[in-house]
Amino acid sequence: MFNNIDLFRKNKLLKNIIETDTPLMIYAIADLHLSLANPEKSMNVFRGWKDYIAKIRKNFGQTLQEGDTLVIAGDTSWGMSLEQSLADFHFLEAFPGRKILIKGNHDYFWTTKAKMQKFFSDNCLHSFEILHNNCIISEGFALCGTRGWINDGSEPFGQKMIRREAMRLETSLAEGEKTGLPALCFLHYPPLYAGNACEEILSVLKKFKTAKCYYGHIHDPQGHRHAFQGIYEGTRFRMISADYLDFAPLALNPEQTPQGKEGNAVHP
Ligand SMILES: [Fe+2]
């Protein structure tokens, strides 16, 4: 039995298969920092962000097809409420494919899953799904993740918060494990950065033998230089911050490097 959203997706999917015969893809990106209704918060003034909305429009438009999945790993919109973020959600809704949202540290619109789902439904935003204490299946993968935590001194240290995020990650990866499918893990915060490690998050990744983990949050070439990309204790880490990817979603099946660049595989 399908509900309306399932039927909507199924019809679009069939249309894609019949008309284009193209494989369905999983893409990922983080930190879009949209602010269509709040131009004073535009990121245009920052290095590497000039005309970023135009770049997103062009790159998403050229890449996403009906039936594809796009994971947006946090910091999606500067809106302080769902209503203030509505224009940003409509902007994303216009592109084909499912959009999976993870919470970032600047997603002040984030509220309960039930309230967000109702808001999306009330505003004809049919392509959004929320990855929070759950897993979502796409193209033979279990998509798992949570906001996570960074241990770089920039956030107030809170053992309670770290433990909560580690528990959310464990819940999500456990749900993924039940599916029997390989997991792709998404975090907003990098658990490894500039020589620091968030052991609580890393131990959960290790426990579930997570092969691939993608994260955002890090901006500017100065910040990117300190990001860890490579394999650490069996998990391959990749940075998917929008400005690092030049605002083009990264294809995960098969994984492609942004602009042909290989990551900086340096032990933290
Ligand atoms: Fe962030």
pLDDT digits (tens, 9 = 90+) for 100-145: 999 999 999 999 999 999 999 999 999 999 999 999 999 999 999 9
Q: How far is residue 191 from each of residues 113, 194, 251, measured CA to CA in Å? A: 24, 10, 22
Between 21-35, 45-59, 192-206, 253-267, the lowest mean confidence (pLDDT) is in 253-267
Q: How far is the CA of 4 from the centre of ligand 1 (A)?
A: 33
What pLDDT does residue 156 have? 63
Q: Pick the more confident residue, 150 or 3.
A: 150
User: For residues 231-257, b (16+ Cβ closer than 10 Å) or e, as one string?
Assistant: ebeebbbbbbbbbbbebbbbebbeeee
Q: How far is the CA of 161 from the centre of ligand 1 (A)?
A: 16
Look at strands 183-187 and 212-215 and give their pairing: parallel
Q: How far is the CA of 114 from the centre of ligand 1 (A)?
A: 23
What pLDDT does residue 124 have? 98
Number of neighbouring beta carbons within 10 Å of residue 207: 12
Q: How far is the CA of 217 from the centre of ligand 1 (A)?
A: 4
Q: How far is the CA of 108 from the centre of ligand 1 (A)?
A: 11
Confidence band of 265 (pLDDT split at 50, 70, 90): very low
Q: How far is the CA of 230 from the centre of ligand 1 (A)?
A: 21
Q: How far is the CA of 62 from the centre of ligand 1 (A)?
A: 26
Q: How far is the CA of 32 from the centre of ligand 1 (A)?
A: 10
Q: Which fold has domain 24-260?
A: Purple Acid Phosphatase; chain A, domain 2 (3.60.21)
> Residue 191 gets which letter from DSSP?
S
Q: How far is the CA of 187 from the centre of ligand 1 (A)?
A: 10
